[in-house]
Structure formats: structure tokens, C-alpha cells
């Protein structure tokens, strides 16, 4: 799989980005400010992530998503590895990522990639999203923030 920046004038894969974040408004906002990378094989986009500078020495993976037919094959791990290498090359010292309290698989993946929990933003999802979100039978209410030195 080749991981590359989105070309100028190329539309971002919104259907994938919305798998990671149901708020189209928030997705469009960080797409404007951040850098969008796609993972592609045989002209098919299999994954996407958006990286945004959030501090003088820090970038955050604001959105990461893999095509549902290709989950569990290491693509998410590859995209995270790419984000870490890219941020390091650009001279950043940390990469951050946040996910819902109910996102058990995502929390597992991020910790396997070396991220550690640094904070919990209580009620982030109840405040910022109109509809109630559920995953794994758990209501998604709090944002778990993780960080990794690079």
C-alpha cells in the first residue's frame, strides 16, 4: 500500500472520514486546517488520516479510518506508523490522538502503537454531538486523550 498526501483538487474520502467522526462539520473544519494522507492500493483508497498541528512541538491524528472490508489487516497500524514518521521528519516531538471511552479496539490499537493515556475530556461527546453514540454496548461520552513521544 502506498501512503501519500491528497493531491491538490482531489476530494478527500469523506465516506471513510465519517466512519471515524460522525460530525461532518468537525471533519470539514480539520480538513481545512490539517494535512490529509491516503493509503492506496491498485487505485483504491483503503485508508485515510488527517494530521493537524496542535502545539509548537505537537501534531495530532484528528481522524483515522480504514475501509470496512479491510479492517484487521494492519492498515491502521501502517497509517499510524506513517503519521509518526512524518511528524518526526518535520521536527515535532509528540503525536497525540483522542478517541471515545467506548472505542475499545481503537484504544487497544493506539496503545499497541506506543500511545499512553494522558487525559480524559469528560462529556466531550455529550457536549459536542447532537445524537447519542453507542459502541460495544457502551455510551460514548468521554474523550480519552493519548500521546506518544517521537
> What are the residues binding ligand ACO (CB under 6 A)?
19-20, 61, 63-66, 71-77, 97-99, 103-106, 108-109, 112, 136-137
The torsion angle over the Cα atoms of residues 1, 59, 99 and 11, rounded to 10 degrees, is: -50
Query: Which lies closer to ligand ACO via its Cβ, residue 99 or residue 141?
Result: 99
Give the nearest distance from C-beta 20 to ligand ACO in angstroms: 3
Query: Which lies closer to ligand ACO via its Cβ, residue 68 or residue 89?
Result: 68
Give the nearest distance from C-beta 120 to ligand ACO in angstroms: 15
Long-range pairs for 62-71: beta carbons < 8 A, 24 or more residues apart: 62/30, 62/34, 63/17, 63/20, 63/21, 63/27, 63/30, 64/20, 64/97, 65/16, 65/17, 65/19, 65/20, 66/16, 66/39, 67/16, 68/19, 70/46
In whole angstroms, give the CA distance from residue 64 to residue 97. Answer: 10
Query: Which lies closer to ligand ACO via its Cβ, residue 9 or residue 24?
Result: 24
Comparing every residue's Cβ against ligand ACO, the nearest one is 76
Give the nearest distance from C-beta 49 to ligand ACO in angstroms: 8
In whole angstroms, give the CA distance from residue 63 to residue 93. Answer: 19
Query: Which lies closer to ligand ACO via its Cβ, residue 59 or residue 66?
Result: 66
Give the nearest distance from C-beta 101 to ligand ACO in angstroms: 12
Amino acid at each position: 500500500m502506498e501512503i501519500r498526501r491528497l493531491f491538490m483538487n482531489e476530494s478527500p474520502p469523506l465516506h471513510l472520514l465519517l466512519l471515524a467522526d460522525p460530525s461532518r462539520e468537525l471533519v470539514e473544519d480539520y480538513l481545512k486546517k490539517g494535512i490529509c494522507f491516503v493509503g492506496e492500493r491498485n487505485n483504491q483508497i483503503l485508508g485515510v488520516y488527517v494530521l493537524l498541528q496542535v502545539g509548537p512541538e505537537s501534531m495530532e491524528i484528528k481522524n483515522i479510518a480504514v475501509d470496512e472490508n479491510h479492517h484487521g489487516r494492519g492498515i491502521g497500524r501502517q497509517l499510524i506508523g506513517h503519521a509518526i514518521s512524518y511528524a518526526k521528519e518535520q521536527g515535532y516531538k509528540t503525536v497525540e490522538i483522542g478517541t471515545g471511552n467506548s472505542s475499545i479496539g481503537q484504544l487497544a490499537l493506539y496503545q499497541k502503537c506506543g500511545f499512553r493515556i494522558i487525559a480524559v475530556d469528560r462529556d466531550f461527546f455529550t457536549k459536542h454531538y447532537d445524537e447519542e453514540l453507542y459502541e460495544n454496548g457502551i455510551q460514548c461520552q468521554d474523550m480519552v486523550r493519548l500521546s506518544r513521544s517521537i
